Amino acid sequence: MPPTAHHVVVVALPEVLPLDLAIPLQVFGSWPDGPYRLTVCAETPGLVPMGGAPAMSVEHGLACLETADTVIVPGQAEPGPPSAAVRAALAEAAARGARMVSICTGAFVLAAAGLLDGRRATTHWLHAAALAERYPRVEVAPKALYVDEGEVLTSAGVAAGLDLCLHLVRKDHGAHVANQRARVLVTAPHRTGGQAQYIDLPVRPGRSGGLAPLREWALFNLQRPLTIDQLARQAGVSRRTLIRRFHAETGQPPMRWLLEARLSRARELLEATDLTVESVARRCGLGTADNFRNLFKENAGVTPSAYRGTFRLPAPGVSALARRLPG
């Protein structure tokens, strides 16, 4: 271990998520003679409860933060306010110049310490609204994989923590070292922070009646050039009523919901079929190939080809999914 090794301190709080904790340990800790020195600490040394796993024995306390170059806070199963001691230790480390990092719901801890005030930040998309509501001075970016604000960095859930940790290695030691580390970990070498989290189709479950039949009809007719007037006629309501009820039931305007449904279908086809970009665009009602590429990159942060390269399913040829979809 080099005498000037960069000291990474991972703060294990109660109900820490095992995978969120393991990611920085794997990236920065299992690196023989590497440029990092890693320590895990807890508010109180001893057994720390883990979310969905046996308790973990932690030897060091918060005093480790006094020598940290980078502090990483993994997520917790139930993000709650940290103690005053934890908040103070994190704030002091940041004031001293340590780089502050969170994975998943660890963003709630950094926010409680005041470290995200006036900054962009992200967390797992399931918790993004709660983060924004609880800490209104934080500019929450709910779709980002990770957000780099210089000395404060946050990531979305689970695997996005790996993207962020490799981003830190890339910042510290360049792309070659980061790519070597990625190969050891058998993962993609680089996903940009602006790449979007991949979120389920925007249909809210559990509400019967209303416009649910219309939305189901629209999903099977995505290849058609649907308009608000056509949707209103299909539902048997006025244009104004459609817009009002659609927003009440889905939280979105009709055309925004329709665009996200089309992009979600496009992601399915890119993952599961060999269809060309032109064919995917046509089947999803997204216009020309160029229009599709622009819309997809604007909303997902990557091109359709880059998305397919990352998420392509192994089965060759046109899948059953593509055969049963209209268009």
Kindly give, in sequence order, each residue whose CB lies less than 8 Å from that of residue 117, ignoring residues fewer than 6 positions away: 111, 135, 137, 138
Please tell me the predicted confidence (pLDDT) of residue 272: 82
Please tell me the predicted confidence (pLDDT) of residue 91: 98
Please tell me the predicted confidence (pLDDT) of residue 264: 83
12-47 confidence digits (pLDDT tens):
999 999 999 999 999 999 877 789 999 999 999 999
In a domain, 304, yes or no: yes
Do 177 and 231 lie in one domain? The reply is: no
3-state secondary structure the chain: CCCCCEEEEEECCCCECHHHHHHHHHHHHCCCCCCEEEEEECCCCEEEEECCEEEEEECECHHHHHHCCEEEECCECCCCCCCHHHHHHHHHHHHHCCEEEEECCHHHHHHHCCCCCCCEECCCHHHHHHHHHHCCCCEECCCECEEECCCEEEECCCHHHHHHHHHHHHHHHHHHHHHHHHHHHCCCCCCCCCCECCCCCCCCCCCCCCCHHHHHHHHCCCCCCCCHHHHHHHHCCCHHHHHHHHHHHHCCCHHHHHHHHHHHHHHHHHHHCCCCHHHHHHHCCCCCHHHHHHHHHHHHCCCHHHHHHHHCCCCCCCCHHHHHCCC
CA distance readout (Å), 126 to 121, 230, 306: 14, 33, 25
CATH code of the domain covering residue 128: 3.40.50.880
More confident residue, 188 or 98: 98
In a domain, 253, yes or no: yes
Do 247 and 155 lie in one domain? The reply is: no
Please tell me the predicted confidence (pLDDT) of residue 309: 83
In a domain, 200, yes or no: no
- Give the range of the structural domain holding residue 300, as residue numbers without chain letter: 212-324
Do 178 and 256 lie in one domain? The reply is: no
Mean pLDDT to the nearest integer, 195-213: 56
Please tell me the predicted confidence (pLDDT) of residue 181: 86
Structural domains counted in the chain: 2
In a domain, 191, yes or no: no
Do 178 and 273 lie in one domain? The reply is: no
Do 139 and 280 lie in one domain? The reply is: no
CATH code of the domain covering residue 222: 1.10.10.60
Do 135 and 228 lie in one domain? The reply is: no
Confidence of residue 324 (pLDDT cuts 50, 70, 90): very low
Q: Could you tell me if 325 and 220 are in contact, meaning their C-beta atoms sit under 8 angstroms apart?
A: no
Do 181 and 237 lie in one domain? The reply is: no
252-275 confidence digits (pLDDT tens):
899 999 998 899 889 888 888 889
In a domain, 96, yes or no: yes
115-134 confidence digits (pLDDT tens):
999 999 999 988 998 999 99
Q: Could you tell me if 52 and 19 are in contact, meaning their C-beta atoms sit under 8 angstroms apart?
A: no
Please tell me the predicted confidence (pLDDT) of residue 31: 79
Residue 289 half-sphere exposure, CB side, CA atoms within 13 Å?
A: 7
Do 124 and 168 lie in one domain? The reply is: yes
More confident residue, 160 or 203: 160
In a domain, 282, yes or no: yes
Do 104 and 11 lie in one domain? The reply is: yes
Do 227 and 177 lie in one domain? The reply is: no
Do 230 and 152 lie in one domain? The reply is: no
Please tell me the predicted confidence (pLDDT) of residue 321: 40
- Tell me the average pLDDT of the chain: 87
In a domain, 198, yes or no: no
In a domain, 218, yes or no: yes
Whether the pLDDT of residue 114 is over 50: the answer is yes
51-71 confidence digits (pLDDT tens):
989 999 999 999 999 999 999
Mean pLDDT to the nearest integer, 64-79: 96
Confidence of residue 320 (pLDDT cuts 50, 70, 90): very low
Do 57 and 179 lie in one domain? The reply is: yes
Range with the poorest average pLDDT among 81-85, 141-145, 197-201: 197-201
Please tell me the predicted confidence (pLDDT) of residue 225: 92
Q: Per the structure block, which two tokens stand in for 106?
A: 């660890």
Whether the pLDDT of residue 86 is over 60: the answer is yes
